[in-house]
Amino acid sequence: MRIGAVEAGGTKFVCGYGNEQGVIEDRISFPTEMPEITIPKVIDYFRDKGVAAIGIGSFGPLGVDRTRPEYGHVTTTPKPGWNGYDFLGALKAAYPVPFGWDTDVNAAAYGEAIWGAAKGQSSCVYYTVGTGIGVGVYAQGRLVHGLVHPEGGHVLTRRHPEDAFAGVCPYHGDCLEGMAAGPGIEKRWGVKGSELPKDHPAWELEAYYLAQSIANTILLLSPQKVILGGGVMKQEQLFPLIRNEVSRNLNGYVSARALTEELDDYIVPPGLGDNAGLAGSLALGLAALRGIEV
């Protein structure tokens, strides 16, 4: 059986399909433009694929509360054409199959919990660190929603004592995203992070901010796995730096082997690699097909 998946990012869309084990069998990608251009491409992609269900993990903010009229819509984004757009409705009108729908990061967290680094766990958090910072939260076997959905990239962290950078978040200046996402790194150092050497002090500072937010998340939620994905996390030297900083922040307060001897296996890259988002979307589609509320 084929399950469709859409990973809808602010920069590019990925469409694909795969099987019930989460194996991606085909994918295409194209830039995110106005919905009038982009959504027909999505609909075209699935035309001859015979998918039994489709899961969508989308950039946000989104309406994720099934009881509200904005369910399935992209809501208050500044992205031209997408503010208030009925993304899910447009696809439902084209395909009479069950649909899964959540944020891109919640989708990735779910994919990791079903098939990836948090397989068999009932909780995990998934951070994507790229052009922005997003956090997906899976707890007690469910994806977390509430008033809206997690927006954990915008938490405030303590400023490094030697850091005078103002941050680039238009809402908060020096929130986590403003300090530690790609645009903040580039503004601070004058070059893209990918052009900085692996031993550049940028990475210690990056780890300082990410680890503080991760330690706070561990304290608040006690997740069974912390998964770090996205373009910035391709800098693998960040993982040991982040683990050390998380450990320093917690200072032994929470008694759990995962946070001491097993820390290398606790703060990890996505088990699904670059497929976390797409496979997570697929997992949402599969859950919808099976009538499982996630």
Task: Give me the residues that bind a second copy (CB under 8 A), please.
Answer: 61, 75-76, 122-123, 135, 137, 139-140, 142-159, 171-172, 212, 215-224, 249, 251-256, 258-259
Nearer to a second copy, 217 or 275 (CB): 217
Nearer to a second copy, 21 or 222 (CB): 222
Nearer to a second copy, 193 or 271 (CB): 271
Closest CB 152 distance from a second copy, rounded Å: 4
Closest CB 18 distance from a second copy, rounded Å: 26
Residue at 245: amino acid letter: E
Nearer to a second copy, 94 or 258 (CB): 258
Cα–Cα distance, 102 to 152 (Å, whole number) = 15
Closest CB 4 distance from a second copy, rounded Å: 25
Nearer to a second copy, 3 or 64 (CB): 64
Sheet of strand 99-103, all strands in order from the earlier edge strand to the far edge? 24-31, 12-18, 3-8, 53-58, 99-103
Find out whether the peptide bond into 61 is cis, omega within 30 degrees of 0.
yes
Cα–Cα distance, 288 to 91 (Å, whole number) = 15
Three-class DSSP category at 62: strand
Nearer to a second copy, 21 or 260 (CB): 260
Closest CB 262 distance from a second copy, rounded Å: 10
Cα–Cα distance, 119 to 27 (Å, whole number) = 23
Contacts of 120 (CB under 8 A, 6+ apart): none
Closest CB 147 distance from a second copy, rounded Å: 4
Angle at 54 between CA 48 and CA 55, to 5 degrees: 145
Q: How many CA atoms lie within 13 A of 114 on its CB side?
A: 27
Closest CB 170 distance from a second copy, rounded Å: 9
Closest CB 93 distance from a second copy, rounded Å: 26
Nearer to a second copy, 224 or 235 (CB): 224
How far is the CA of 41 from the CAs of 13, 33, 91, in angstroms? 10, 11, 11
